[in-house]
């Protein structure tokens, strides 16, 4: 039967640009794309939420310019930072369809992150891990 192709949710990821031939090729999907931050700012989510979500306007290697979300608490991104983006929208930010991958290229990992570290590029630090307190050693009585 005829192949029914669904419309992509992250369109910037399936276009490549060849700067030598000055040509754009569609239909070869990539899992991630590299890009340069054009602008780093905050954005307010839509109702009923309230916050200042951190986002970046990113110019990709295929000359697309997209808005990407910066996950995690705190970040070190500024204009001209080189970042890696993946697909994945942010439900309460209209028009934000991409996530920046933490801990790659110019993006630092999240400091002091203990759980879900792989998603935020955090190294395993011997930080304040909450463990069951061991019984105190007997002081000779």
CATH of domain 11-109: 2.40.50.140
Residue ranges per structural domain of the chain: 11-109
**In this structure, are residues 70 and 50 in contact, taking their beta carbons and an 8 Å threshold?**
no
pLDDT of 129 above 60: no
Whole-number pLDDT of residue 59? 94
What is the model's pLDDT at position 95? 92
Q: What is the pLDDT of residues 69-101, one digit of tens each?
A: 999 998 999 999 999 999 999 999 999 999 999
What does the alpha-carbon distance between residue 126 and residue 55 come to, in Å, rounded to a whole number?
Answer: 30
Q: With a cut of 60, say whether residue 119 has pLDDT above it.
A: yes
| CA–CA distance, 141 with 139 (Å, rounded to integer) | 6
User: How much is the pLDDT for 34?
Assistant: 93
Better-predicted residue by pLDDT, 135 or 71 = 71
- What is the pLDDT at residue 56? 93
Q: For 108-124, what is the mean pLDDT? A: 88
């Amino acid at each position: 039967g005829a192949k029914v192709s669904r419309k992509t949710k992250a369109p910037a990821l399936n276009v490549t640009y060849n700067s030598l031939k000055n040509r754009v090729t569609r239909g070869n999907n990539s899992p991630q794309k590299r890009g340069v931050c054009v602008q780093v700012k905050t954005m307010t989510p839509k109702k009923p939420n309230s916050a200042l979500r951190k986002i970046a306007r990113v110019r990709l290697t295929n000359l697309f310019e997209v808005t990407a979300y910066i996950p995690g608490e705190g970040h070190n991104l500024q204009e001209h930072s080189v970042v890696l983006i993946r697909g994945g929208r942010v439900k309460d930010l209209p028009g934000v369809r991409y996530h920046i991958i933490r801990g790659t290229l110019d993006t630092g990992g999240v400091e002091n992150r203990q759980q879900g570290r792989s998603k935020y590029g955090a190294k395993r630090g011997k930080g304040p891990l909450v463990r069951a307190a061991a019984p105190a050693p007997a002081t000779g009585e």
